[in-house]
Chain A
């Protein structure tokens, strides 16, 4: 099950914890992967670890031209993009009253607008081949909201609405569009929280622990697979029961 031999995947944010796990998991299932991110060194290290069928395509998702170039580079490296995983994301946390326009905009640009641009670029080939998987990594806070994350939560909620719309447009061409919504996952992003904050969060998680990035990757593998062909427009929540939606 979940064999991805012969499929090609572009994963953005592959230098981060969750992105790297997603790339590894897709690769283990047989997919060729293009690893994108802003920091080249960790991408090169991951590509070296994976060996064949792995390519590094650095890119800056905050600009339109660079984002389109990144897609072209990935397509040139892989020959085609069957699976697009929009995982790249950043946070600029601040309570709304102190949130600057630029910190609102930069989060929306990378987390939401770049995901749209890459999806639009990927659709063309997917429509021609009558097969495609677009998987957007959103967040529990895109559904629940979170104090101090108006920009981040808006971008993640935006991904869910966008995914449903694309799913409606592309369903007849055997292209599925879904979201995976991680809860509280151990990554560099959550390492920023101090021990006290973490201890406060744990009682709200029925599983009693933080999630691991490979538990997110497993959800992505499922949605990317042939077996998930009838799943579209959905959000798969992987959060240890932290929110039951």
Chain B
């Protein structure tokens, strides 16, 4: 399971170009990591691709932090 957290964090680091040390579980994409709303859409698209899950729009809107993403994927990803 920690593997999921590591993979999520790597996507966030790569996509937003932020330092790994800042990507802690309770970090908010927008408030703490400098993402704009389009970045959050792209992060969701990247999570969908990495984990082979479909993240519907209403769920995507609730994925605001690193922890939100990890929790959603843990609950919904097949592998």
Q: For the complex, give the distance between the alpha carbons of A59 and B40 in Å.
A: 32
- B34-49 Cβ-contact flags toward A at 8 Å (1 or 0): 0000100110010000
Report the Cα distance A173→B36, complex, angstroms.
12
Interface string of A195-208 (1 = CB under 8 A from B): 00000000000000
Chain A residues whose CB sits within 8 angstroms of the CB of B41 once the complex forms: 127
Say how far B38's CB is from chain A's closest CB, in angstroms. 7
A124/B38 in contact, CB under 8 A: no
Do residues B38 and A169 form an inter-chain contact, with CB atoms below 8 A? yes
When distances are taken between beta carbons in the complex, the residues of chain A under 8 Å from B45 are 124, 127-128
Interface size on B, residues (CB 8 A): 4
For chains A and B in complex, what number of residue pairs have CB atoms within 8 angstroms?
11
Closest to B36 in A: A172
Which of the four size classes fits the interface of chain A?
under 10
The distance from the CB of A172 to the nearest CB of chain B, in whole angstroms, is: 7
Contacts of B42 in A (CB 8 A): 127-128
| Interchain CA distance A50-B31 in the complex, whole Å | 51
Interface residues of B in 1-50 (CB under 8 A from A): 38, 41-42, 45
Taking the closest CB of chain B, its distance from the CB of A111, in whole angstroms, is 25
- Report chain B residues within 8 Å CB of A124: 45
A128 CA to B46 CA in the complex, in Å? 9
Q: How far is the CB of A21 from chain B (nearest CB, A)?
A: 34
CA distance A169 to B42 in the complex (A): 13
Rounded to whole Å, the gap between the CB of B58 and the closest CB of chain A is: 16
B-facing residues in A91-129 (Cβ within 8 Å): 124, 127-128
Which residues on the B side are within 8 Å of A173 (C-beta)? 38
For A170, the chain B residues whose CB sits under 8 A away are 38
The smallest C-beta distance from B29 to any residue of chain A, in angstroms, reads: 16
**Smallest CB–CB gap between A174 and chain B, Å?**
12
Shortest distance in angstroms between B79's beta carbon and chain A's nearest beta carbon? 22
A interface residues with partner B (beta carbon < 8 Å):
124, 127-128, 169-170, 172-173
**A169-B38, A173-B38 given. 9 additional CB < 8 A pairs?**
A124-B45, A127-B38, A127-B41, A127-B42, A127-B45, A128-B42, A128-B45, A170-B38, A172-B38
A-B pairs with lowest CB-CB distance, top 7: A127-B42, A169-B38, A128-B45, A124-B45, A172-B38, A173-B38, A127-B45
Between-chain CB contacts (< 8 Å), 11 pairs: A124-B45, A127-B38, A127-B41, A127-B42, A127-B45, A128-B42, A128-B45, A169-B38, A170-B38, A172-B38, A173-B38
